[in-house]
A and B are shown apart, each in its own frame.
Chain A
């Protein structure tokens, strides 16, 4: 079935550095959702993108949906220790997560 791939699998940054994770699909997606799972917690919905080229911001987080609707990115500006966790992308209707990107931060 259709599944998205995420890169990188792991990312370690210094607090204050930026972070970006990418989500790629070989086929066109009708939409994309992003979730965050903190260590020991459950996945929590962050955002849904639907339109080609759509960009949405949530404070330090910027989400982008590619023009061809085959890729998406999540960029965090000036990371904080509260950003630690694993970030997942998925198409809304299927909600099948890829491997996710695990972000760790050096304070």
Chain B
């Protein structure tokens, strides 16, 4: 079965550069969530989208923006990267319209800012 696909899996950027992380949800899933997990920390919710509209906002820095496109894939854009942005970024998808709202997580994108 198709899972949540995140790309790239690894990314190395320099300070002040920009980065774009992509998330392809499971087919027919209309909700996408983004998380940031620093070393030794728990996943911090950043933002979520339902039917291409932002549904919830967490601790997402102003330097970051995200959107969900017409094909339901989502992109997390990160600008003016800082060393502290180095983390594992997870994307998850679900379909709240159904009874079972289980969320499926991707393998994550490991971003290293140097």
- Name A residues whose Cβ lies closer than 8 Å to a Cβ of B: 1, 31, 33, 35, 37, 42-45, 48, 86, 88, 92-100
Contacts and interface: CB of A to CB of B under 8 A. Distances in A.
Interface residues of B, number: 21
A96 B108 CA distance: 17
A95 B42 contact: no
B33 A95 contact: yes
Interface of B: 33, 35, 42-43, 45, 48, 56, 58, 90, 92, 94, 96, 100-108
B48 A95 contact: yes
Given A43-B105, A45-B102, 6 more contacts: A42-B108, A43-B92, A45-B103, A86-B42, A92-B94, A95-B92
Contacts of A42: 90, 105-108
Contact of B101 (A43, A92, A100): A92
Contacts of B43: 37, 43, 88, 97
Nearest to A43: B105
